């Protein structure tokens, strides 16, 4: 009877250990696991540092007099601007305004404008003010958007590659969802984000398992950010093994199987004789 109780106790302990291990592993895969639920909090992150070189801008001018906006919109403007990127002979596709290395664009009639560092709203307001003050349009309304918001996601994700987003607001979780999320081998505690802005490169880390992720300067991704998900220790250890080991084992098993079959076949023939 004592041995029976001892076996039951050992079995219960083993099941308990397996449960703890399973819970521990599932906790490692959880995002912002310590964040309180059903609690409101302020959004302190910043979507963007403003317009950067190599940004491709969509700029659209509206007015109660549509004919006054024709020369300012790429959809309708058929006149090339000297030295600019505005030419659109077909009047159909929107090519956008590429911010050059000096942080400038060439806008129809208004000419060269320095836009680097300004927000989209600031640039729209500046164009509106100039169009009205210079007598081009009496009631100008301008929209400015980013056309080439790109982020690269590499490492232990389902579909690594470059993704494009409309607008200028993209969170780290939105980006990961667009590449199919992390694999089970992805290191969630220290995801690396490489950011280049205003001639400066920064390399930061973000912990996806902590509530602090929402206060990180990398929670909102910026134009041309590179996100790298490092493999966890299990994946690293498997990579350190000789990749031919499994092939060697498979070959040995096959040879042993053939030899065993041949031996039993030999014994069967000998017995029949």
In which domain, by residue range, is 112 found? 56-146
Q: Of the candidates 103, 123, 146, which is a domain's last residue?
A: 146
Q: Of the candidates 89, 119, 146, which is a domain's last residue?
A: 146
Integer Cα distance of 214 and 86 in angstroms = 39
Same domain, 126 and 193: no
Integer Cα distance of 221 and 48 in angstroms = 8
pLDDT at 273 (0 to 100)? 65
pLDDT at 150 (0 to 100)? 92
Q: Indicate whether 91 belongs to any domain.
A: yes
Q: Residues 72-91: pLDDT tens digits?
A: 998 887 544 444 444 444 44
Same domain, 182 and 216: yes
Integer Cα distance of 121 and 67 in angstroms = 24
Integer Cα distance of 86 and 195 in angstroms = 29
CB 132 within 8 A of CB 140: yes
Q: Indicate whether 260 belongs to any domain.
A: no
Q: Residues 1-54: pLDDT tens digits?
A: 545 444 444 444 444 444 443 444 444 556 655 555 555 555 555 566 789 888
Same domain, 137 and 158: no
Q: What is the pTM of this model?
A: 0.63
Choose between 249 and 150: higher pLDDT.
150
pLDDT at 81 (0 to 100)? 47
pLDDT at 82 (0 to 100)? 43
Give every CB contact of residue 45 below 8 A, 6+ residues apart in sequence: 214, 215, 216, 217, 219, 220
């Amino acid at each position: 009877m004592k041995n029976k109780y001892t076996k039951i106790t050992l079995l219960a302990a083993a099941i308990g250990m397996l449960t703890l291990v399973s819970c521990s592993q599932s906790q490692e895969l959880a995002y912002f696991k310590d964040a309180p639920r059903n609690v409101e909090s302020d959004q302190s992150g910043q979507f963007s540092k403003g317009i950067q070189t190599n940004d491709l801008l969509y700029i659209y001018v509206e007015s109660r007099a549509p004919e006054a906006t024709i020369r300012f919109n790429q959809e309708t403007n058929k006149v090339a601007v000297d030295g600019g990127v505005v030419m659109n002979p077909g009047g159909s596709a929107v090519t956008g305004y590429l911010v050059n290395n000096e942080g400038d664009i060439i806008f129809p009639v208004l000419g060269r404008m320095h836009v680097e560092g300004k927000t989209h709203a600031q640039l729209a307001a500046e164009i509106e003010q100039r169009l009205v003050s210079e007598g081009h349009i009496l009631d100008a309304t301008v929209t400015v958007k980013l056309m080439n918001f790109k982020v690269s996601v590499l490492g232990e994700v389902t579909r690594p590659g470059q993704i494009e987003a409309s607008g200028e607001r993209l969170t780290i979780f939105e980006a990961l969802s667009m590449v199919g999320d992390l694999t089970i081998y992805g290191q969630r505690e220290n995801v690396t984000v490489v950011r280049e802005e205003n001639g400066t490169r920064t390399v930061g880390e973000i912990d996806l398992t902590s509530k602090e992720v929402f206060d990180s300067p990398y929670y909102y991704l910026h134009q041309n950010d590179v996100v790298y998900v490092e493999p966890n220790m299990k994946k690293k250890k498997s990579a350190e093994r000789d990749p031919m080991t499994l092939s060697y084992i498979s070959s040995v098993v096959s040879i042993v199987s053939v030899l065993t079959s041949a031996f039993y076949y030999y014994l069967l023939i000998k017995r029949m004789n």
